[in-house]
């Protein structure tokens, strides 16, 4: 009995037990204090749907042994370009999403390919190089948002008539179109069905992809490069494929994120985007050597719920002034970076 319990604990993992315990504690506190628990859970569900694809985007590169994709923002920028072009042309509703998808994915394939080639040249330091390529691209794109010839008066600054605004509002027809698709209430919980269906569909597609020939070779390259080379798998090509797949998923993720959020945030907004996603997959139990779909789903659910419900509950207990920042933000920074550090310093990355 004791043995099975111990093995159960080690399968689930102590970090997840602690966080799940903390979440339960927060929810009970919220209930006792009379905070609207349904509302908290509904908000959590929205956030999980919103961020799931970014976390999923990390899976291919981890599987192929390229490591954590710190350059996730590259893909996100491709998605942003698609969204902004739709806004500029005045296309709304589902067509807007589809146009953004086509443009975003096309760009992501090109950018992902170049990024993948670069990462192949810098084997061993992919994470650091990817991180700074991401940072450099985000800051370079800032000049693009400022100087590109966008003319739509609802998008550019009112004064001077040039340069996109930092935050663009999505029109009502586009905003939450996927979230609201088939959405329903369940015991007072609002379920953003469309986004969830898309997320799980993407997970399922990736699951089947890893059963195909190229998916299996990706896993082989990641888990045993020597064996992969011996069986004639082209390691570098496979690695590039994983990076392209990751970048495309990130572009897709950005579009889903924006439609759910209702705003398109430009300039330095995508800079730190990879970090919460990385924290999610690590909280789910992934390591540099091993990552599965289950890690993606569990991690996203735990971390996003934690972020959503901490602040409302904590503010009920202690009054915190908003002048210099809130405690959730600080907690997010400590937990997410603490987890990344933990993953980096484990022996051999296991």
Instruction: Kindly tell me which of 182 and 334 has the beta carbon lying closer to other proteins.
Output: 334
Taking alpha carbons only, the member of 298, 211, 335 closest to residue 11 is: 298
Does 327 engage in binding with other proteins (CB under 8 A)? Answer: yes
Instruction: Kindly tell me which of 269 and 340 has the beta carbon lying closer to other proteins.
Output: 340
> Measured from the CB of residue 321, what is the shortest distance to other proteins in angstroms?
5
Q: How many residues does the chain have?
A: 350
Provide the terminal-to-terminal Cα distance of the chain, rounded to the nearest Å: 28
Instruction: Kindly tell me which of 27 and 344 has the beta carbon lying closer to other proteins.
Output: 344
Does 340 engage in binding with other proteins (CB under 8 A)? Answer: yes
Convert 108-146 to b/e letters by CB count within 10 Å (16 or more is b). beebbeebbebbbeeeeebbebbbebbbebbeebbeebe
Return contacts of 162-169, CB within 8 angstroms, 24+ apart: 164/84, 164/266, 165/266, 166/265, 166/266, 166/267, 166/269, 167/263, 167/264, 167/265, 167/266, 168/84, 168/87, 168/263, 168/264, 168/265, 168/266, 169/262, 169/263
| Helix ranges (DSSP H) in the chain | 2-12, 14-33, 37-56, 59-63, 72-89, 93-121, 126-147, 177-180, 193-209, 213-223, 225-230, 235-261, 274-283, 293-317, 327-345
> Measured from the CB of residue 134, what is the shortest distance to other proteins in angstroms?
9
Who contacts 107 (Cβ-Cβ below 8 Å, separation ≥6)?
A: 78, 81, 82, 251
Does 333 engage in binding with other proteins (CB under 8 A)? Answer: yes
Q: 22 to 61, contacts with other proteins by CB under 8 A? A: none
Does 165 engage in binding with other proteins (CB under 8 A)? Answer: no
> Measured from the CB of residue 281, what is the shortest distance to other proteins in angstroms?
15
Per-residue interface string for the shown chain with other proteins, residues 229-268, x marking contact by CB under 8 A:
--------------------------------------x-
Rounded Cα–Cα distance for residues 100 and 93 (Å): 11
Q: 88 to 147, contacts with other proteins by CB under 8 A? A: 118, 121-125, 127-129, 131-133, 135-136, 138-140, 142-143, 146-147
Does 182 engage in binding with other proteins (CB under 8 A)? Answer: no
Does 275 engage in binding with other proteins (CB under 8 A)? Answer: yes
Return the axis-axis angle of helices 193-209 and 235-261, rounded to nearest 10°. 170
> Measured from the CB of residue 118, what is the shortest distance to other proteins in angstroms?
7
- Of 33-41, 205-213, 220-228, 336-344, the window that binds other proteins (rule: CB under 8 A) is 336-344
Rounded Cα–Cα distance for residues 135 and 17 (Å): 34
- Of 27-35, 178-186, 204-212, 335-343, the window that binds other proteins (rule: CB under 8 A) is 335-343
- Of 95-103, 215-223, 249-257, 328-336, the window that binds other proteins (rule: CB under 8 A) is 328-336
Q: 140 to 159, contacts with other proteins by CB under 8 A? A: 140, 142-143, 146-147
Does 167 engage in binding with other proteins (CB under 8 A)? Answer: no
CB neighbourhood size of 13 (10 A): 15
Instruction: Kindly tell me which of 108 and 282 has the beta carbon lying closer to other proteins.
Output: 282
Does 311 engage in binding with other proteins (CB under 8 A)? Answer: no
Residues that bind other proteins (CB under 8 A): 118, 121-125, 127-129, 131-133, 135-136, 138-140, 142-143, 146-147, 160, 162-163, 267, 275, 319-321, 323-325, 327, 330-331, 333-334, 337-338, 340-341, 344-345, 347
């Amino acid at each position: 009995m004791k043995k099975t319990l111990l093995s159960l604990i080690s399968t689930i993992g102590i970090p997840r037990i602690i966080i799940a315990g903390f979440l339960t504690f927060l929810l009970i506190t919220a209930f006792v204090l009379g905070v609207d628990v349904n509302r908290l859970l509904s908000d959590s569900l929205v956030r999980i749907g919103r961020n799931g694809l970014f976390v999923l985007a990390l899976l291919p590169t981890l599987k192929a042994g390229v490591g954590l994709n710190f350059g996730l923002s590259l893909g996100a920028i491709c998605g942003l370009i698609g969204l902004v072009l739709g806004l500029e042309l005045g296309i709304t509703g589902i067509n807007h999403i589809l146009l953004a998808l086509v443009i975003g994915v096309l760009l992501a394939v090109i950018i992902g390919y170049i990024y993948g080639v670069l990462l192949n040249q810098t084997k061993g330091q992919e994470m650091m190089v990817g991180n700074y390529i991401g940072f450099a691209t985000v800051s370079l794109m800032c000049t693009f948002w400022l100087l590109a010839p966008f003319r739509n008066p609802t998008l550019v600054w009112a004064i001077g008539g040039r340069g996109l605004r930092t935050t663009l509002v999505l029109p009502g027809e586009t905003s939450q179109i996927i979230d609201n698709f088939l959405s329903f209430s369940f015991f007072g919980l609002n379920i953003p069905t469309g986004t969830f269906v898309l997320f799980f569909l993407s997970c399922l597609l990736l699951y089947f992809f890893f059963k195909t020939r190229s998916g299996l070779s990706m896993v082989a390259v990641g888990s045993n490069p020597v064996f992969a080379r011996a069986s004639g798998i082209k390691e570098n090509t496979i690695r590039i494929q994983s990076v392209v797949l990751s970048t495309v998923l990130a572009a897709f993720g950005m579009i889903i994120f924006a439609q759910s959020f209702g705003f398109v945030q430009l300039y330095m907004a995508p800079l730190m985007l990879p970090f919460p996603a990385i924290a999610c997959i690590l909280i789910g139990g992934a390591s540099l050597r091993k990552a599965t779909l289950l890690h993606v789903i569990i991690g996203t659910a735990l971390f996003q719920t934690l972020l959503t419900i901490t602040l409302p509950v904590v503010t009920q207990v202690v009054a915190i002034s908003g002048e210099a920042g809130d405690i959730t933000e600080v907690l997010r920074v400590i937990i997410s970076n603490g987890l990344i550090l933990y993953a980096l310093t484990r022996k051999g990355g296991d």
